[in-house]
Amino acid sequence: MNNNFSSIRPIFNEELPQVFIETYGCQMNVNDSEVVLSVLQKAGYALCDSIEKADVILVNTCSIRDNAEQRIWGRLDVFLQEKKRRKGVVVGILGCMAERLKSELLEHPAVDIVAGPDSYRDIAKLIAALDSGSKQINTLLSREETYADISPVRMDKNGVSAFISIMRGCNNMCSYCVVPYTRGAERSRDPHSIVKEAQELFDNGYKEVTLLGQNVDSYHWHNPDNPTESVNFAQLLELVALIDPKLRVRFSTSHPKDMGNGVLYTMAVYPNICNHIHLPVQSGSDAMLLKMNRKYTRDAYMQRVAKIREILPDCAITTDIIAGFCSETEADHQDTLSLMKEVGYDSAFMFQYSLRPNTKAARHFVDDVPLQEKTRRLNEIIELQNRLSLESNQKTLGNVYTVLIEGVSKRSDQQLIGRTPQNKTCVFDAKGYKIGDYVNVKVLSCTSATLIAEIVEEPQESSFLKRIDFNDIRNDIKEIGKDLKEIITKEINNLKNQKNDKN
């Protein structure tokens, strides 16, 4: 597989045709925009920073909620004015909204190109084909496309942290969700290309990668040339972690029904795999979970949380929650609140239910919870989570964490910002350090959203589980499975005993 990383960063050259890319929605969309830019740079385009300079304006869209789509319709009016001001400007709509609303978008006078998530290889050809005088569309979904051979051009500002897509599509068919219809069937990317991409990022100065998938736990690649050879997510996670101890590894998103213990044991072995799991629950009610087609119960979810706490005691757990799903009762809502308290989430993404056309919920259920009631329930969820987040952050007071500096604080250019391994945002005085440095920080105070800390010189004190040096036993580990589980369990018990002896 030939990945060419010669242009890992954007090209800015006013002598070349200019493209402006606007991205909405999830981290997958951010990565997709980087794939699009890679294709266009190879075709002779350069990135620009405003629509006023652009020859081509591309908008990578989101359809997860109605308000996300409404924002795009509003932007199209702005683009139309730009097209009237400068003749020849091309506007293309990409992503999930392009896949879902093909015809409606093509009818808009601002739109020249509609391109779905599996058509990005052809984006330069679609632009060139406009010379024929007709609008262009490609929204065919693929069962094979993973863009494994395309090296994304990184559009992040810090040059420190990057997303790597390990799979595309989704097979879960949650009743409220439009993703399987806009991104197609699930397919896993060749692990060799993933490791190569991560290695090249590290060689180019990146210190952190986030492995992305709609459901990373169902990643399972089979070698087409050797059916007996396969790689699951725990094994892929290990392969990436082995690149270098100084390369931090994160991943998102996990699914409660698919997350196995192998992933947790792998996280326990490698200190450079961050102790944070995003585990969407959506609801604490079994009735709602069944209606949502989530394929797990409240009890099964709590068992998964318990296993995370057992193997990774200092692991942060975050989640997604939907308020006011079809026919949700007050009792269902209270079940969600009680589950939130039981888990003690570090943070959460919380939303009112937004009916998505053509989903199972739209076809078979009634969106019958009044807007006022949805709003009340969402506000209660947000209020509770703010308390839980504050309680979680207060537990870090006095602790020392290794933080990767990712940027400058918005409040002061004398302060820097980074995240702990638990994905908690941390702000501290610069003291001469710069973006890309690792620093040890001690937490002094906090809000529900941020840790306020100071840089300390002493090395981070090892936690009773996470900072184990497994180098002396790695040769005894043949695979992620029984042998590793026994080793980890033994080490956990030893460390617990040591901690009890100290107390």
Q: What residue ranges define each of the domains in the chain, with the CATH number in brackets?
A: 18-138 (3.40.50.12160), 161-388 (3.80.30.20), 400-456 (2.40.50.140)
Compute, in degrees rounded to 10, the torsion defined by CA atoms 426, 429, 433, 436. Answer: 20
Going by C-beta distance under 8 Å and a sequence separation of 6 or more, which residues neighbour residue 310? none
pLDDT number for residue 74: 95
Calpha distance 391→137 (Å, rounded): 50
pLDDT number for residue 114: 98
**Rg of the chain over CA atoms, in angstroms?**
24
Calpha distance 35→33 (Å, rounded): 5
For every residue of 51-101, DSSP letters joined together read GGG-SEEEEEE--SSHHHHHHHHHHHHHHHHHHHHSTT-EEEEEEHHHHHS
pLDDT number for residue 7: 59
Q: Annotate 157-172 with three-state secondary structure.
A: CCCCEEEEECEECCCC
What are 100's two structure tokens? 């879902």
How large is the angle between the packed helices 233-241 and 191-203, nearest 10 degrees? 20
pLDDT per position as a tens digit, 102-112: 999 999 999 99
pLDDT number for residue 5: 37
Compute, in degrees rounded to 10, the torsion defined by CA atoms 185, 209, 239, 194. Answer: 50
In the DSSP assignment, the letter for residue 463 is P
pLDDT per position as a tens digit, 43-60: 999 999 999 999 999 999
Total residue length of the chain? 503
Calpha distance 150→38 (Å, rounded): 7
Calpha distance 384→340 (Å, rounded): 8
pLDDT per position as a tens digit, 346-401: 999 999 999 999 999 999 999 999 999 999 999 999 999 999 999 999 999 999 99
pLDDT number for residue 226: 86
323 within 8 A of 351, measured Cβ to Cβ: yes
pLDDT number for residue 493: 54
What are 159's two structure tokens? 């040059």
Q: With H, G, I as helix, E, B as strand and everything else as coil, classify residue 315.
A: coil
269 within 8 A of 234, measured Cβ to Cβ: no
Q: Give the pLDDT of the chain (503 residues) as one tens digit per residue.
A: 444 434 588 989 999 999 999 999 999 999 999 999 999 999 999 999 999 999 999 999 999 888 899 999 999 999 999 999 999 999 999 999 999 999 999 999 999 999 999 999 999 999 999 999 999 999 999 999 999 999 999 998 889 999 999 999 999 999 999 999 999 999 999 999 999 999 999 999 999 999 999 999 999 999 888 888 899 999 999 999 999 999 999 999 999 999 999 999 999 999 999 999 999 999 999 999 999 999 999 999 999 999 999 999 999 999 999 999 999 999 999 999 999 999 999 999 999 999 999 999 999 999 999 999 999 999 999 999 999 999 999 999 999 999 999 999 998 999 999 999 999 999 999 999 999 999 999 999 999 999 999 999 754 443 333 433 444 333 333 344 444 445 444 554 554 455 455 45
